[in-house]
Structure 1
């Protein structure tokens, strides 16, 4: 029996984007670089394809593209411009409180705005390594705090 993410909209916040434009060259490069890490294992403090954590993925991808960010997700959350979720577009950063206390503890990179504004993001999951998830998944919907634009 395969486990599918819970994408039921019951009791979920409407975390959708209205973005319908084209991605810039810089955003395409960032997303391509992030996608190169898909399948890499999770490793706390790691920053390479042999293992990395959520903020390690972000700094690796953005530093490669000449955007300097701090190492920790809580410090990355202080960078850039806070945006409303409906303004989110590929390349923006999403911040989450995965520990239940409302404090930033996780970060992901917006990958795509799908049908009806569904936001997907690339991130390093502690259990699955680098994967693509959706803000429509119950866990991520409830943990979502805010979005930032650093480009």
Structure 2
């Protein structure tokens, strides 16, 4: 990675040959569904932001990026506690849009996913879905996501 531009750099052929034995050739083990993440209206009255979120030095990885675990922490902090206590996480989809840096101010939003005026339910009728949005103070999107929960 080029640390000045924060972009991935091209790997030289001799280095690629040297580390090539470490790569696993095969199909991915993750079932990726082409799920479109819904746009959330942050000005809606039903959304209350969890504000004042700031990355600190302990949240950074070796590349000076905020750890993905910290992003998950911010997403989960915005969930209604009663729903988390009654359900367990079944799956999640996260879409990282840009990185945030130390000292940035963030807001986390959470909303129950709805379709046709009803809760978006699982096939067993016991689950619930939440849409998530993590915004930078300048209004740009850091992360969008969806979490699916099933009854305990």
The answer to which structure, 1 or 2, has the higher relative contact order (CA under 8 A, 6+ apart) is: 1
Q: Same fold (TM over 0.5)?
A: no
Higher Rg of the two aligned structures:
2
TM-score range, shorter chain: under 0.3
Task: Say which structure is richer in strand.
Answer: 2
Q: TM-score, normalising length from structure 2? A: 0.27
